[in-house]
A = this chain, B = another copy of it.
Amino acid sequence: MSAPTQDRIDIEARKKGAEIIYKTFLNLLSSLEKGADPKLVIPKRTLANTVFDVEKGILKLGVSKLERKFLDMNESRRFMQTLVMAANIYRALIENEYPTIRDLYYRGKHTIVFHDLDGRHREENTWDEQAESDAALRDLEVMLGLLREDLMILSKEKGKVVGNMRIRSGNDIIDLSKLGHGAYAIESTPDLIEFLDVDAEFVLVVEKDAVFQQLHRVGFWQKYKSILVTGAGQPDRATRRFVRRLNEELGLPVYVLTDSDPYGWYIYSVFKVGSIQLSYESERLATPKAKFLGVSMSDIFGYGRKKPYLTEEERRNYIIKAKDLDIRRAKELMNYSWFRTPLWKREIDMFLDKKAKLEIEAMASKGLKFLAFQYLPEKIQTHDWIE
């Protein structure tokens, strides 16, 4: 069956993924034929092997590698799991399937029945929990140098986009400026998207879905030629990759708008630098040039000559007292090198001093016109952001 929405890019991506898997495991086979012990060489995904590349501004894996040997009793189970995973992904690629990580867990799950050296009947499950199959997938990703999206593995989608551009996905051309009040849900495999006509000057990434809708309805991206994206909270991989491509391939500046609190800063950080646990993704998913547009502490309280956007009465009504957890999170963030710039230091210090946080909705409640046509454009025009 040839899937109706399957297109040239999809076919090529499958071919590439399948070839890399094929070659990698052909090497294993050749070394076996030469009588060598079967082993896989896999970059280490440990924190100790996670480095911050100052030049590129992203987290990535270091050079340490591990050898997973089939003949090592402690390793043979994970060796087997890696092969089960690779075989199922390979099959899905050539059969035009789009598995999810949950599917891959189910597809690989079965019981191996064997007799041990003493002739006893033994049973061993390929895996019991999805945590095991997920780990096998991550090992494969770093081993092959491909992300799951390159292997046509789907995840839950959360990201949305509208704005002044047209894209091609599958065999369709979608005009992201003609979506009414709705939006385009960003596909799980954003590298299959082709950028066509773009008439935008910047990208605004909005943490909260409802604020995204408000800016969309009020015509923000039409007035200030732009592309509006939301990850609806903690962004998924596809949204991060999509934003990165807008920045890298189209050269558009990326501004991030979140709540004014450590959780908002962390969301910004995930867009900019990547997640600390999964640093191997960052090279493809992070947007190191992303700028934190706000809401910043100086927007709330003013700083030096800058006047605050809130009156004292608004501050009294809108500010939420920071909790211990917020304070703890803020102090944690101070440890990361990308939060050690002078402006971030000032931001975090002000937060720790005032112990105050603010939701972006508080700005919106001053009126959408204020948010869309005063606050945001003024911040962009005066370069009032934090990098």
Contacts and interface: CB of A to CB of B under 8 A. Distances in A.
Interface of A: 1, 3-6, 95-100, 102-107, 109-111, 154-157, 160, 167-174, 178-189, 192-193, 208-211, 213-214, 216-219, 222-223, 232, 313, 316-318, 359, 361-362, 364-365, 367-369, 373
B106 A362 contact: yes
Given A106-B361, A157-B213, A219-B3, A183 B185 contact: yes
Contacts of A186: 182
Contacts of A219: 3-5
B174 A103 contact: no
Contacts of A99: 364-365
B187 A182 contact: yes
22 contacts: A3-B218, A3-B219, A4-B222, A5-B181, A5-B222, A6-B217, A98-B217, A99-B365, A100-B214, A103-B361, A106-B359, A110-B313, A154-B214, A168-B180, A170-B180, A174-B178, A181-B189, A181-B192, A182-B184, A182-B186, A185-B185, A188-B210
A267 B273 CA distance: 37
Contacts of A213: 98, 154, 157, 187-188
Nearest to A108: B365
A336 to B, nearest CB: 29
Nearest to A2: B219
Contact of A317 (B98, B111, B156, B180): B111
A6 B154 CA distance: 35
A365 B155 CA distance: 15
A189 B182 CA distance: 9
A103 B364 contact: yes
Nearest to A97: B368
A111 B172 CA distance: 54
Nearest to A182: B187
A80 B374 CA distance: 32
Contacts of A185: 160, 182-185
Contacts of A95: 367
A239 B5 CA distance: 24
A84 to B, nearest CB: 13
A318 B184 contact: no
Contacts of A168: 180
Contacts of A362: 106
Nearest to A222: B4
A103 B3 contact: no
Contacts of A361: 100, 102-103, 105-106
